[in-house]
Amino acid sequence: MSEGFRATGGCRCNTDPVRYEYTKEPFEVHYCLCTDCTDISGGALALIAVVERDTFRITQNENKIKNFDTKETAHRKFCGDCGCHMFLEVDPFPDHVLVHVPTLDRDSEVGGEPDRWVFTDSKLELVQLPDDGLPRHPGWANSPIAS
Ligand SMILES: [Zn+2]
Ligand SMILES: [Zn+2]
């Protein structure tokens, strides 16, 4: 872990945005193609940074954050004003927060690189995965660095 690491992000509100930060490099980063992530984000894929919960905090306008459970175990946090889905909490990983990387500031560090694709069975027909050499898993698979 590097000294002084800080990643920052937030929602899309022009005024009074929700802002968050994490202050340690993520445990791992992955691409997710599951319908749970993609449908709620309106994106063809999700890029997720798994961040230790005690290094993550809301720095501004926490009161605007709403929750929607896409599954009993998946608690998705979004801005009640602009609808931006920034991060989620999942019951199987109680010590981590899963951050949607595109909601980081574009000039923010992420602190890690994606190491795999998961839930490729749910990939949209129209989407072609890049030839990036990363492992691809039909369902969930732990990070090679984590297992
Ligand atoms: Zn917002
Ligand atoms: Zn997912």
Residue 19 lies in a domain: yes
In a domain, 134, yes or no: no
List, as ranges, residues with CB under 5 A of the ion ligand 2. 32, 34, 37
Q: pTM of the entire structure?
A: 0.94
Q: Is residue 128 domain-resident?
A: no
CA of 125 to the centre of ligand 1 (A): 31
User: 98 lies in a domain?
Assistant: yes
Which residues fall within 8 angstroms of residue 5, CB to CB, at 6 or more apart?
23, 24, 25, 109, 111
Which domain, by its residues, includes 92?
Answer: 7-27+46-112
CA of 47 to the centre of ligand 2 (A): 9
In a domain, 51, yes or no: yes
> What's the total number of domains in the chain?
1
What tokens appear for 140 in the block? 């969930």
pLDDT of 144 reads 85
CATH number at residue 14: 3.90.1590.10
Q: Is residue 136 part of a domain?
A: no
The reported pLDDT for the residue numbered 34 is: 97
The pLDDT value recorded for residue 3 is 73
Per-residue pLDDT at 145? 76
In this structure, is residue 56 part of a structural domain?
A: yes
Could you tell me the mean pLDDT of each successive run of 10 residues in the chain, 147 residues long? 86 98 98 96 96 98 98 97 98 97 98 97 96 97 80
Q: Residue 9: what pLDDT? A: 98
How many angstroms does the Cα of residue 45 sit away from the middle of ligand 1? 21
Give the type of residue at 104.
L
